Amino acid sequence: MTSLLIAGPLALDDFPDAPGLLGGVGGYAAMAAAPLALTQLWSRGGKDITPQVRSILERRGIDLTGVSWNGETSRGNKLIAPLLSDIHPTDPGDVTAVLLIGLDRADWQRACDTIRDLPGAENRTVVVAPYGVDLSDAAYLAEVCNMADVLVMPVPRALELTKAVDAFAAGRDLGALGAKCVILTAGPLGGLIVYRQKATTFTALPIETLEPTGLGPVFAGALAAWLTGAGKDDFRAIKRGCAVASGVAGICAQGVGPKKLLTADRKEYLERFNRLRRAAKA
């Protein structure tokens, strides 16, 4: 069966009334992806993520054989390098898509080298969401874009990096650097898809955000999982994937950390997707 491989940080997040919640952009992405596709997480969790906390991911159906539990655990935005474990992903032949999310430069290079060596690399969709990564080095930004079949980035970050006058121009500039598809997110305003010579917007449900932590990674994880299930990354699949991902991010926004997200299943995901479709047609 096809699966999604997510390479990204796993951490614990401390909220005022909820310390020690599972987090990290890789963790959020995996929790969002699991109801839509078989999901493997490649990360270094560290010793502070106890078996009891770990079981939350296991109950979500996430394959943790690529996660190590040794050493110090990242907390919040204080990430402890290396972000990836020394355990290589399992069953690489079944991996239909890969999400590279929030990796520092050293882990990025290691992840890229690894997935290039996996069987079937030429047919595998690579989604890249470089959260928290310094891309001000033009050569590194070009390397990241060139690796991406789908690049996901917030609008403000894209404008900052490209110096473009608007989101559409920023999307075009990032595409010119090598990204086959650029998705620029704008929170409750939805976002923009720039796919080769095509472009369109996607909507978001008007939801009051209780806590914004994890929304970007949740969007990226749900999108990557949708493309995994679709088995392709054409314009139609990406448009539908963005609608699903927007709905899933809305679920996360209604809770603290991943709490609300972890109560949602595939059925609720698709209900949100259908609500968005109906709203777009109104």
| pLDDT at position 90 | 65
Cα–Cα distance, 3 to 91 (Å, whole number): 9
Tell me the per-residue pLDDT of 184-233, one tens digit each, with 9 for 90 and over.
999 999 999 999 999 999 999 888 899 999 999 999 999 999 999 999 99
* 89, pLDDT greater than 90: no
Cα–Cα distance, 279 to 42 (Å, whole number): 37
**Average pLDDT for 100-105:** 96
Whether 150 contacts 180, CB under 8 Å: yes
Is the peptide bond preceding residue 82 cis, with omega within 30 degrees of 0?
Answer: yes
DSSP β-ladder status, 198-202 and 191-195: antiparallel
DSSP β-ladder status, 18-23 and 11-15: antiparallel
| pLDDT at position 119 | 79
pLDDT band, residue 122 (cuts 50/70/90): confident
Given the structure tokens 């070009």, which residue do they identify? 142
| pLDDT at position 230 | 95
| pLDDT at position 67 | 96
Give me the number of domains the chain comprises.
1
* Domain span holding position 226: 3-281
| pLDDT at position 87 | 87
Give the pair of three-digit tokens for residue 11. Answer: 């951490």
Tell me the per-residue pLDDT of 27-74, one tens digit each, with 9 for 90 and over.
999 999 999 999 999 999 999 999 999 999 999 999 999 999 999 999
* 83, pLDDT greater than 90: yes
Cα–Cα distance, 76 to 85 (Å, whole number): 18
Model-level pTM?
0.96
CATH of the domain at 147: 3.40.1190.20
| pLDDT at position 123 | 85
Tell me the per-residue pLDDT of 127-165, one tens digit each, with 9 for 90 and over.
999 987 789 999 999 999 999 999 999 999 999 999 999
